[in-house]
Structure 1
């Protein structure tokens, strides 16, 4: 093992060997190569009272690493950093690294003027857009902790998150597209604030006026601040706040929880190091490349790659606002128009393509020669999906596996350096010590199904606690016997070390790549006055992967309501509590 060092260009086998030999040396090399430290860390890795700590003593700023580091690069600073596309409306906006830096610094000044300081939390509830990224980066510049709420959540879910993380301010849009519909955010936010015990001191509203056929809701929020008026004539804040490596960059609430929200905390130092390594090596992207994913910024893939991963590495990022039923057309058109080098999506989108364009007629008319990689995640990919892409694109497509908790790829086919195997999500990424255990916590042999776990040391960026709920973190994620991290997913590995996902350990459904618990849906259904009992299971769906099917026993109240109206009311409850993604496909009515 003597003489091992970080590969350049990336070589998977080399980095696997190096990280297995010395995880500490491996990550020290990554941290010094890719990250700007205002103060170098004292220790690469240590355990302090059963808590794993990476880069302790180091000081840095995420916004500086995403933007300021590029300003002296004459080749990059004028390059386009972000492109916002609203495909269904034919809208496109773009911004260079230089101009993005200026706008972030101006908005940072606005937040500072409102009293935002290091350690404050800020909830962001906006459409997928450049302004959303500006809000995130401005928070990071000040050392404030941002919590982006997916725009598909409605008032109840938003209120839960506000009460849990207690933001000093909210930053919202007036409206935005979520799936096929326009969401009017202002009335949703107003209702959420009415429901909360914690009241934010200010609400900043980005009032977009770019879609002419949207009829705006006339609801207003008392004492709200207009984004444009707030930044008018402000001087940019070029200074930035240095934060500790362990300082939270963001809180991201996972879907499908019951009871108190489950807030994933992402530490600044580990995040900057791991995401830099992943985007440049595992995904093989380099400066001035172009990356496109259908991920919403409100999800972890949006944070890790649409925003931070691309900006850290000088890659152009395409932000898609609207996921519509016509996405099977727009996906390839976007790749062709922007000369996209790599893309990522969920199997549900590929199934949509396969159903609507089985012969690949759309892609055959476009130039996608720049496109080299497509990554699938969030759900299991059936071989028919892989074969479809291989046939129409004439390029390899690979599956991957990771979680909100990990922040970056755990199992995948990095930069196409592993031969693909049907139904496998690949092999562990460098520094991940992943295995399978049985119900007693004992490691099993190849081809035996059990729970997927990760051994210590967990790589940088990995979750180390839940926001304001250390006990739930230990209960949910830590195995009592060995202290392994429990993924909550069952699977196995074959004789060659390839991993396969079989099912969830708990009763979660994978709907369009989002994990939604069955009992969360049941809780919403049980709120209806006509429901006596209910049970929810997942059934296969040709596009979404899984959809919820409800078995319901009605009580005798309000017997005049027909089933169509009843089902609309049920889905309204689910949408309000969870998200529109979780609506019931159909209901089976039982007598008992």
Structure 2
């Protein structure tokens, strides 16, 4: 790995960012990266020394086995040490660093009328009170607590309260169905469920308590009713006169099980001694569905996750004391766990906690909030960027975005056109874009630029983070050197990698380690260019082998989106009698653009020009909308089944709008004609 000398268009960090950066240039990155691989014990010990340990580690800082042929897969970090996550992200800052009066979160609700500031002292007080409530309900170390809440401060209070008393939190995104919630409660054997009476999403009012009750009823029907108490929060928008739908929401109630949050918290003490946990005790379970099968309960543990989320947050966003940071994700996903709660709090950051959606009550809501709080570091998804691109520059021009210094993206590879718009329009040409690649399983960023150190190529995740050693393998498990494309794997663990699939270690080993013994298999395809930059090409099952040529769907999607009529594109494979596989493309057009044969021909020609004749799509289908999860991820499994005219689509409970599937089947006939 050397300082890149490519002649292609690159973006270099501005000098003013380098002056006080934690990693000021590329050579500094290389020196730290080499140290993290050659002397990981010393590298991670320096990070660990920043935190409080009730008892120090007694063994090597990182121990592991990645080779299934040599026994069980395991990773251990700081074995023998005792600590507490909540103490490190709250008490340590309030008592040792005098951060008590510093704002931890600016909360912005679905409506601009609902907002508040929460200091570190207030956060600690609320967390301790909640911890005492949970203890009074019988929750103890090792018990699981399911949390089904919108993006309100009580979500943070509850997850940190669990961490404080050694309970294992299982947060379920508050857009999931009752069936999905039921499935996760059963798998975790949760003893308490924390939910809210309702939530607004835009103009829509959702009765969360009713969904929660349906989930608990399903648990009973399946003979797996472990929840003894349901703690219910009155949503801020529904407890005041300004909540116009207040009287419309009927909250079902079971006095034997249900407890109002306000009543339980009223007399709860503001002090709660933390439970001192072993370094490898579980911190949380977070379920990730994958493309098929039962959701996997990804298990993360205390010490390693603390070290890794704190360091990645500090370096990737180049965090400083006076920053105001905003990640637009939901805490129901790993991005929210790592980069709204644990990573920022471990660094004493001030963050924006946002409940709303990007286009409510107007399409400039993101930009309005950036101006209001003078946000310096902004982290969002390519899906959101592409959505806001459709409204052009005008909404941004109403607001002052001059506070921004660093932009970030997460969730999927960002196409170059969206990257350019984000950089030039949102960042006004002066803010580096850190395009982060990571997974629920990795716990934190594994491939990412560092804003002051890494020359940027639009669409590339660039280089590995400290302690991460990537490799690219072919189908036979042979490592590919230099410029290459194939399977992205990692040779060794980092402290924050998952430890297991909850209650199913065999599935953990089979999913991530069996295909290529000795490596962690990400499930993603990747290419490395001549400068050593890594480009994520999509899930392995989204890679195509057309007439013997390995091709990434992301590359074809990027080509399709260069057409001025295309707002979004998704490409999947379809069996072909001659080629083996062919390309089936779904395109969503911009407002007022017409889908016709002329446009189809133009798109095919564009792909041929950008990639080559071998990549010419066989089918291009009009997609008024794409099937997405409530977090905005495209469900490509469903698109593959539509392309193959398979009517049995399985579980659609995670879809934001299931009606999209019916519309796509209706449109499919035109593409096949």
TM-score (norm. length: structure 1)? 0.86
**Out of 400, 413, 422, which is 1:380 matched to?**
413
- 1:539 is matched with 586
* Cα distance in structure 1, aligned partners of 2:212 and 2:309: 32
SS at 2:660 equivalent:
coil
**Deviation of 1:114 (Å):** 1.0
**Out of 177, 190, 193, which is 2:216 matched to?**
193
Whether the 8 Å CA contact 1:478–1:484 is kept in 2: the answer is: yes
Is 1:9 paired with 2:22? Answer: yes
* Cα distance in structure 2, aligned partners of 1:233 and 1:73: 28
- 1:139 is matched with 162
**Out of 387, 396, 401, which is 1:363 matched to?**
396
* Cα distance in structure 2, aligned partners of 1:94 and 1:9: 28
Bigger Cα displacement from structure 2, 385-394 vs 330-339: 385-394
Cα deviation digits, residues 279-336 of structure 1 (max 9, x gap): 1122211234211011000000100011111111111111111224347411111111
**Deviation of 1:388 (Å):** 1.1
Whether the 8 Å CA contact 1:104–1:135 is kept in 2: the answer is: yes
Is 1:68 paired with 2:91? Answer: yes
Residues 431 and 183 of structure 1, relative CA distance in 2, 3 Å threshold: same
Is 1:580 paired with 2:656? Answer: yes
* Cα distance in structure 1, aligned partners of 2:300 and 2:204: 31
**Deviation of 1:381 (Å):** 1.2
SS at 2:378 equivalent:
strand
Cα deviation digits, residues 217-238 of structure 1 (max 9, x gap): 3423452011011112122233
Whether the 8 Å CA contact 2:512–2:520 is kept in 1: the answer is: yes
Is 1:415 paired with 2:451? Answer: yes
**Out of 502, 506, 514, which is 2:537 matched to?**
502
**Deviation of 1:587 (Å):** 2.9
TM-score (norm. length: structure 2)? 0.76
- 2:7 is matched with none
Is 1:182 paired with 2:184? Answer: no
Whether the 8 Å CA contact 1:123–1:148 is kept in 2: the answer is: yes
Residues 464 and 307 of structure 1, relative CA distance in 2, 3 Å threshold: same
Whether the 8 Å CA contact 2:194–2:230 is kept in 1: the answer is: yes
- Unaligned runs of 5+ residues in structure 1 are 1-6, 520-535, 556-569
Bigger Cα displacement from structure 2, 546-555 vs 168-177: 546-555
Number of positions where the alignment pairs a residue of Structure 1 with one of Structure 2: 546
- 1:79 is matched with 102
**Deviation of 1:172 (Å):** 0.5
- 2:327 is matched with 293
Residues 584 and 416 of structure 1, relative CA distance in 2, 3 Å threshold: farther
Cα deviation digits, residues 33-89 of structure 1 (max 9, x gap): x22111111121223754121110010001101110112357521111112212445
Bigger Cα displacement from structure 2, 202-211 vs 466-475: 202-211
Listed as ranges, the matches of 1:15-34 within 5 Å are 15-32=32-49, 34=50
Residues 218 and 53 of structure 1, relative CA distance in 2, 3 Å threshold: closer
- 1:3 is matched with none
* Cα distance in structure 1, aligned partners of 2:358 and 2:202: 5
Whether the 8 Å CA contact 1:152–1:579 is kept in 2: the answer is: no
Cα deviation digits, residues 167-204 of structure 1 (max 9, x gap): 01001111124476332111111111111132201100
Whether the 8 Å CA contact 1:179–1:324 is kept in 2: the answer is: no
- 1:228 is matched with 262
SS at 1:506 equivalent:
helix
SS at 2:541 equivalent:
coil
Residues 179 and 256 of structure 1, relative CA distance in 2, 3 Å threshold: farther
Residues 156 and 328 of structure 1, relative CA distance in 2, 3 Å threshold: same
* Cα distance in structure 2, aligned partners of 1:450 and 1:60: 40
Q: Could you say what the CA RMSD is over the residues aligned between the two structures, in angstroms?
A: 2.9
Cα deviation digits, residues 248-298 of structure 1 (max 9, x gap): 110000134544320110110001111111111222112342110110000
Is 1:41 paired with 2:57? Answer: yes
- 1:464 is matched with 499
- 1:275 is matched with 309
Whether the 8 Å CA contact 2:147–2:195 is kept in 1: the answer is: yes
- 1:241 is matched with 275
Is 1:351 paired with 2:367? Answer: no
* Cα distance in structure 2, aligned partners of 1:194 and 1:344: 38
Listed as ranges, the matches of 1:401-550 within 5 Å are 401-456=437-492, 458-506=493-541, 539-541=586-588, 546=634, 549=639, 550=642
Cα deviation digits, residues 519-556 of structure 1 (max 9, x gap): 9xxxxxxxxxxxxxxxx98734469685655369799x
- 1:208 is matched with 235
SS at 1:71 equivalent:
helix
SS at 2:369 equivalent:
helix
Whether the 8 Å CA contact 1:490–1:504 is kept in 2: the answer is: yes
Residues 338 and 89 of structure 1, relative CA distance in 2, 3 Å threshold: closer
SS at 1:588 equivalent:
helix
- Unaligned runs of 5+ residues in structure 2 are 1-19, 66-71, 544-552, 558-569, 574-582, 590-624, 626-631
* Cα distance in structure 2, aligned partners of 1:87 and 1:185: 15
* Cα distance in structure 2, aligned partners of 1:459 and 1:66: 21
- 2:597 is matched with none
Bigger Cα displacement from structure 2, 386-395 vs 578-587: 578-587
Residues 239 and 330 of structure 1, relative CA distance in 2, 3 Å threshold: same
* Cα distance in structure 2, aligned partners of 1:276 and 1:210: 33
Whether the 8 Å CA contact 1:204–1:226 is kept in 2: the answer is: yes
Listed as ranges, the matches of 1:547-558 within 5 Å are 549=639, 550=642
**Out of 345, 351, 354, which is 1:317 matched to?**
351
- 2:114 is matched with 91
**Deviation of 1:145 (Å):** 0.2
Whether the 8 Å CA contact 2:571–2:585 is kept in 1: the answer is: no
